[in-house]
């Protein structure tokens, strides 16, 4: 819950700006009909938005329209924030179902970075916190899922970056190793963490989050190896993970 009640003048101004943005040109009467705000209030808010540079009044047409400055309001809202916004309820719901923590990562040059984690929602997480952690493309499940399913031309660039990566896990992996890993991940439909990297007590399985041919991020579940030691136990994680990923992808397509 917010610490203070919403500032109603700000709420009204944003609602008005959103309504103006829905049409090429609009009038005070149109805005009154759409928002229900009193006309004197609309006029004051319009004058404020004009002064701030977000709205323009056309004297010839006697109508209002948004300016190019309105686009600056979405400058920080691109693929990754949209993905995280959509994925958050799915990730939390999956952790409630299977108890293990989930994570969503996005590409960060020669690695993927954890942008969303449900560790606080999990009663049995192997880790205390992972937000902001960079995971290699070569050895970590969430990185492997990205590398295996991204388009070929993107993968070629990433492989070149991995050769000069500061991450030893990336540099240690030969192209033959990468080819074998990618083939395995594609055949299975999911990626697993390299069993030889630390911490060996836990593991992760991950799948890509795709929009058409593009991988927007990766989605994974982390667990203790000793608790998920059989194919049957892994299937109880993998299938709910795939189902949640499909839900996220459906919402991405709808956006």
Mean pLDDT of the chain: 92
Q: Is the pLDDT of residue 78 over 60?
A: no
Q: Which residue bears the tokens 């459906």? A: 250
Write out pLDDT tens, residues 177-213. 999 999 999 999 999 999 999 999 999 999 999 999 9
Write out pLDDT tens, residues 115-169. 999 999 999 998 888 888 999 999 999 999 999 999 999 999 999 999 999 889 9
| % of the chain exceeding 70 in pLDDT | 96
Q: Is the pLDDT of residue 68 over 80?
A: yes
Cβ neighbors of 163 (< 8 A, separation 6 or more) are 170, 171
CA distance 118 to 92: 6
| % of the chain exceeding 90 in pLDDT | 80
Q: Is the pLDDT of residue 106 over 60?
A: yes
Better-predicted residue by pLDDT, 224 or 82? 224
Q: What is the pTM of this model?
A: 0.72
The residue-averaged pLDDT of 63-72 equals 88
Please tell me the predicted confidence (pLDDT) of residue 1.
54
To the nearest 10°, the Cα dihedral for 67, 71, 72, 77?
Answer: 160
Name the residue ranges covered by the structural domains of the chain. 8-74, 79-254
Whether CATH 3.30.450.40 fits 79-254: yes
Tokens representing 24 are 């090429």
- For the domain made up of 8-74, give the CATH fold: Arc Repressor Mutant, subunit A (1.10.10)
């Amino acid at each position: 819950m917010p610490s203070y009640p919403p500032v109603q003048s700000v709420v009204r101004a944003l609602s008005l700006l959103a309504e103006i943005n829905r049409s090429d040109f609009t009038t005070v009467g149109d805005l009154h009909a759409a928002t229900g705000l009193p006309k004197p209030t609309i006029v004051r808010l319009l004058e404020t938005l004009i002064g701030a540079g977000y709205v323009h009044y056309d004297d010839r047409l006697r109508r209002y329209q948004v300016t190019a400055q309105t686009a600056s309001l979405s400058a920080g809202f691109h693929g990754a924030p949209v993905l995280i916004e959509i994925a958050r309820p799915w990730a939390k719901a999956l952790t409630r179902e299977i108890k293990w923590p989930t994570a969503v990562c996005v590409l960060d040059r020669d690695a993927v970075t954890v942008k969303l984690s449900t560790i606080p929602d999990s009663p049995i997480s192997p880790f205390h916190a992972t937000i902001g952690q960079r995971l290699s493309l070569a050895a970590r499940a969430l990185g492997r899922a990205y590398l295996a399913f991204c388009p070929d031309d993107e993968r070629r660039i990433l492989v070149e970056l991995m050769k000069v990566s500061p991450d030893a896990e990336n540099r240690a992996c030969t192209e033959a190793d990468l080819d074998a890993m990618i083939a395995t991940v594609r055949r299975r439909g999911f990626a697993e963490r390299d069993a030889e990297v630390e911490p060996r007590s836990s593991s992760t399985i991950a799948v890509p989050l795709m929009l058409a041919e593009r991988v927007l991020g990766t989605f994974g579940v982390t667990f203790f190896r000793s608790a998920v030691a059989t194919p049957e136990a892994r299937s109880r994680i993998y299938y709910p993970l795939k189902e949640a990923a499909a839900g996220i992808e459906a919402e991405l397509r709808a956006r």
